[in-house]
Amino acid sequence: MRVNVISDVHGNAEDLAAAGEGADALICLGDLVLFLDYHDHSRGIFPDLFGVRNAHRIVELRTARRFDQAREFGRRLWAELDVDRDTAIDQAVRRQYAALFAAFPTPTYATYGNVDIPSLWHEYAGPGTTVLDGQRVELGGLVFGFVGGGLRTPMRTPHEISDEEYAAKVEALGEVDVLCSHIPPDVPELTYDTVARRFERGSRALLDAIRRTRPRYALFGHVHQPLVRRMRVASTECVNVGHFAATGRPWALEW
């Protein structure tokens, strides 16, 4: 049995169409939407609406962790744009979701990332795509548990939830063989991004569950350039499956 695992697709529909090749199933750990590409500022919803020059500026502010200034800059841009903000974002996200969900192979098992909009997924997920969040599925004799979304940060991305809500979803899984999430467990080596030069938010609830229930694997993404991509916590192999938007390559789990 083999499953290919991806995360942080961020608009890469072209490579997504081939992500399931050679596998019995595809697992996607979220972040389908591309709001802004931090490496290519011409890509994403933000530059489509406001231009590359303004994309450069907001990346500059966020990278410097000047989040209040970044939000104020964004508010000014929206005030100058003669469209409703919610409508513009909804339309742009729908265009991306239509292309991305159409590219998913059958079967695909997916959960949300922190930049996704869960309320729209049911409109685009076809019969070959199973969406799981705080839920389990058995594949080839192994139990996979899924926890979607991210935790609250100054970035205020669309699908950030409270620590308590997130922990409740982890708890609902019980014991699993493979723990699948968008964000990593709260381990410094796994949460530090070497290019952004900052710690992303990891989950203490995930870390506690790993130590308590000892799944074979904990799979995640979210940190695009991690200090460490793979390490053991107790007997669990913790693996960042990679930044699919940049690499176009899945990580394979075989048993």
Kindly indicate the confidence band of residue 37, based on its pLDDT and cuts at 50, 70 and 90: confident
Check residue 84 and give its pLDDT: 86
Look at 194 and 65; give whichever has higher pLDDT.
194
Say what angle helices 204-213 and 163-173 make with each other, to 10 degrees.
20
* pLDDT 10s digits, 120-157: 999 999 999 999 999 999 999 999 999 999 999 998 99
pLDDT of 81 over the 90 cut = no
The pTM assigned to this predicted structure is 0.93
pLDDT > 70 fraction of the chain, expressed in percent and rounded: 100
Distance CA 178, CA 77 (A): 43
> 229: phi > 0 → left, psi -120 to 50 → alpha, else beta; which?
alpha
Check residue 82 and give its pLDDT: 78
Q: Residue range 221-249: average pLDDT?
A: 97
Distance CA 86, CA 66 (A): 24
* CB of 244 closer than 8 Å to CB of 222: no
Check residue 165 and give its pLDDT: 98
Beta carbons within 10 angstroms of residue 182's beta carbon: 27
Check residue 63 and give its pLDDT: 85
pLDDT of 214 over the 90 cut = yes
Look at 223 and 74; give whichever has higher pLDDT.
223
Check residue 127 and give its pLDDT: 96
Check residue 26 and give its pLDDT: 98
Distance CA 68, CA 157 (A): 14
- Locate the domains of the chain by residue range: 2-32+104-254
Residue 210: closest CA among 226, 227, 231: 231
* pLDDT 10s digits, 177-211: 999 999 999 999 999 999 888 899 999 999 999 99
Distance CA 70, CA 107 (A): 40
Beta carbons within 10 angstroms of residue 53's beta carbon: 9
Kindly indicate the confidence band of residue 38, based on its pLDDT and cuts at 50, 70 and 90: confident
Check residue 155 and give its pLDDT: 85
What average pLDDT is seen over the chain? 95
- What homologous superfamily is domain 2-32+104-254 in, according to CATH? Metallo-dependent phosphatases (3.60.21.10)
